[in-house]
Each structure stands twice: as C-alpha cells, then as structure tokens.
Amino acid sequence: MGMRMQPWLSGHGGTSSLHLRVYHLPSPPTEAETPGKETLMARLIVKAVPNETTGSDLVFNLQVYVSVSRADDGRPVTSLTKENFRISSSIGGVLDPKPSAVHERHWEPGDTELSGCYSLSISRGSAGEKWFKGEYYAFGIQVTVNERNVPVHFGQTVVSVLSQGT
C-alpha cells in the first residue's frame, strides 16, 4: 500500500506546529494476485456530450453519450457495464445523482460490432424525482476497467447537461 503525505501548519498564541496528514493509496496487484501476468495501468480516453433531446425524453433521467477508447492505440473499450462508470457532481449531496443505466451502441451499418460508445442515464438519488427544466448540471464521469477485480485502467472527463425537465 502506498502513502501520500500532505503537510499543513497550525498555530495558536504565537506558536506554530507542522502536521502531516497521511493518505493510504491502493497498491498495484502483486505477482501472487496476477500470476504469470504483469498488470500495467493504462489511461483511457473518455469523451462525453449531452444527449438530451426535445423530441423524446427518458423520464427522471439525464442522458449523456460517452466514448471510451485506449490512449495507447485508440481502440474502443467495449463491453463496459454500469459498474465501470462513476459520476461526480457539483450538486452531489443535494440531488445525489447516480448512473442508472448504461447501454453500449454498435457501429453502423450492420449493428454487429461493439463501438465503445455508451448511452449513460443519470438519475437523482431518490426514485421518481425529476430534474429541473432549463437547469444546467455539470458532471465528472470516470471510467475504470478491471483486471482480476482490480481497477487498472482509468479515464475521466466532464460534461454539462441542459435538463429538458423530466
């Protein structure tokens, strides 16, 4: 397990003290956890755009369209599920947004090859609560890919979505 230390000073009555806050960081998998295979951490390229429309709307959800590819060779990252996506929001604790559904799309023509492009639905924490019409919501989207149940590939981006009010 790795550590990161963050120093800070505090003082009272003309004296000051130096303190260290220690954070424990997860260690990369060991040889015992990944026998015969070296695990390399890789960066993912994650891009997202709002996917809300005025013609049709998925009630109680904001829609985002996300592309995930590998930084080293540009290949699409396919077969991801909702568990591979996390979100962060400037309104986090207030509306408690969560990824509610993820659907991967196929390349055209033919609809036979996975694309690494995903429809991501974001719902409010309480079931059945609507987003406010005309409001912009900013989200950080993180994608992780696991090997042997350990996240080893990471990427993230931000997106702003204008709600259609449902």
The answer on pLDDT for 87 being more than 60 is: yes
Strands 136-147 and 150-162 turn out to be antiparallel
The answer on pLDDT for 50 being more than 70 is: yes
With beta carbons less than 8 A apart as the criterion, state whether 52 and 65 touch: no
Which of 41-45, 136-140, 154-158 has the lowest average pLDDT?
Answer: 41-45
pLDDT, residue 42, reads 76
pLDDT in tens, 95-143: 788 899 999 999 998 888 999 999 999 998 776 788 888 899 999 999 9
The answer on pLDDT for 47 being more than 50 is: yes
The answer on pLDDT for 11 being more than 60 is: no
Mean pLDDT of the chain: 79
d(CA 123, CA 118) in angstroms, rounded, equals 16
Query: Could you give all domains of the chain from N- to C-terminal order, each with its CATH number?
Result: 41-162 (2.60.40)
31-51: average pLDDT? 72
Residue from 158, 165, 163 nearest 89 by CA: 158
Q: In what order do the strands lie in the sheet with 114-123?
A: 85-89, 136-147, 150-162, 42-50, 61-70, 114-123, 98-106
The answer on pLDDT for 2 being more than 50 is: no
pLDDT, residue 155, reads 96
Q: What are the φ and ψ backbone dihedral angles of 92, each rounded to 5 degrees?
A: -30, -75
